[in-house]
């Protein structure tokens, strides 16, 4: 079975500082990993994904994520946080070996960036 864990309910960071939002996953086959962002009362927006290849993935709005197979992690990072980055962030996983489309999400991490 697939599962995703986001161990932090909330992350607080000062504007201009680097940020990290943590994600670990569990799948029986090859992991397809995704990060999404949600603003209040809106749908989710795609940020970036790892399917195969380079472990460091770059995405929208200056975000990046590093796939670590041995630690089964896919942490989201940004070198310099902006106040406008404040939002709810979701990590998601799909089992690439099953040939299906089932996507499972973590519980979400709320990011607060203080000016």
Binding site for another protein (CB under 8 A): 6, 9, 32, 34, 36, 41-46, 49, 51, 90, 92, 94, 96, 99-108
Q: Are β-strands 109-114 and 44-50 bridged in parallel, bridged antiparallel, or unpaired?
A: unpaired
Nearer to another protein, 13 or 23 (CB): 23
**Complex with another protein: residue 12 or 17, whichever CB lies closer:** 12
- Which of 10, 84 has the CB closer to another protein? 10
**Least distance (Å) between residue 17 CB and another protein:** 26
* Cβ at position 13, least distance to another protein in Å: 21
Least distance between another protein and beta carbon 19 (Å): 20
């Amino acid at each position: 079975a697939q599962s995703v864990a986001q161990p932090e309910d909330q992350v607080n960071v000062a504007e201009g500082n680097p940020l990290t939002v943590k994600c670990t996953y569990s799948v029986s086959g090859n992991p397809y990993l995704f990060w999404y962002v949600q603003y209040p009362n809106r749908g989710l927006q795609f940020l970036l994904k790892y399917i195969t290849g380079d472990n460091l993935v770059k995405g929208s709005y200056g975000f990046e994520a590093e796939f670590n197979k041995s630690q089964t992690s896919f942490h989201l990072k940004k070198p310099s946080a902006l106040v406008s980055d404040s939002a709810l962030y979701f990590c998601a996983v799909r089992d690439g070996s099953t040939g299906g489309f089932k996507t499972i999400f973590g519980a979400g991490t709320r990011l607060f960036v203080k000016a």
